[in-house]
Amino acid sequence: MHENKRVLVTGGAGFLGSHLCERLLEQGCDVLCVDNFYTGTKHNVQHLLNHPMFELMRHDVTFPLYVEVDEIYNLACPASPIHYQRDPVQTTKTSVHGAINMLGLAKRVNAKILQASTSEVYGDPAVHPQTEEYWGNVNPVGARSCYDEGKRCAETLFFDYHRQHNLQIKVARIFNTYGPRMHVNDGRVVSNFIVQALKGEDITIYGDGSQTRSFCYVDDLIDGLMRLMARGPEFTGPVNIGNTGEMTVRQLAETVIEIIGSSSKLIYKPLPEDDPLQRQPDISLAKKELDWCPSTNVQAGLRNTISYFESVLDRG
């Protein structure tokens, strides 16, 4: 790594992006954080603003960006159903135009580029757990398609730039991730359950709570992304990055209540459209190629996340 590698992080003021910026600065990189603040917030990177190697730029990746960098992490895209369904056309544009613009930039400056893809490319999987070879079972015309198909198209573009222009690409398929700096109102189970339990409100479970999720703590995930970026050009991915510890949504709710010592009760509501019933990564490829495996257990990860939400709610 040469002195002060210049790294661009799109979506850098978001939940994952802000953690990534922090880790890159710790490694001595020069970090350009780009965000349009649609779901990211300045609060997430407030503590980095005085760092001499950190720069924050308000920019929307659906427009070209002209900067000089060595590496690009393309994380820009609203990632929770509430946010990405609010403006579905913009969500698709962010994934597709954003990928085209960032790939164009990478090609121009000869940078290595990583795409933050998602387990949603597998749709409601007919294969369990999901390996990278599985092509997915995705509804192209549903309410979630703007995100699922946008990310699938971004992967297509990455591989076409790789084949056609010999660009150095990396594609990470991120499974459910949680931790400090998650959006309070992002509608995801971890943040929903924690906020409801801290407020002593009933905890809302959609469906009967038997659907499963596998939750990866943010520090583990960032470690996986950075290992993927550091890996030689012969390994492009796509590679699953997530935790294999599958648990039901009901178990998660009960764990949160127990850690907080909350008096919240569980209430059940109908399951939303195209909500996958099972989600669990097969991470054999990440273990083999990146020597990566998540190390944070759910109890420890939830405790850190809960204390973060306590401070946010106190700030009001």
The residues annotated with a catalytic role in the active site are 147
**H or E element in which residue 89 lies:** helix 88-109
Identify the CA nearest to 174 among candidates 217, 206, 111, 112: 217
CA angle at 221 for the pair 22 and 112, rounded to the nearest 5°: 70
- The first and second tokens of residue 225, run together, are 């992304």
- CA-to-CA distance for 225 and 115, rounded, in angstroms? 10
- CA-to-CA distance for 244 and 294, rounded, in angstroms? 9
CB 296 within 8 A of CB 222: no
CB 8 within 8 A of CB 71: yes
CB 130 within 8 A of CB 121: no
Main-chain phi, psi angles of 44, to 5 degrees: -65, -25
Residues 6+ apart with CB under 8 A from 205: 249, 250, 253, 266, 267, 268, 269
- CA-to-CA distance for 10 and 70, rounded, in angstroms? 14
136 φ/ψ sector (left φ>0, alpha ψ -120 to 50, else beta): left
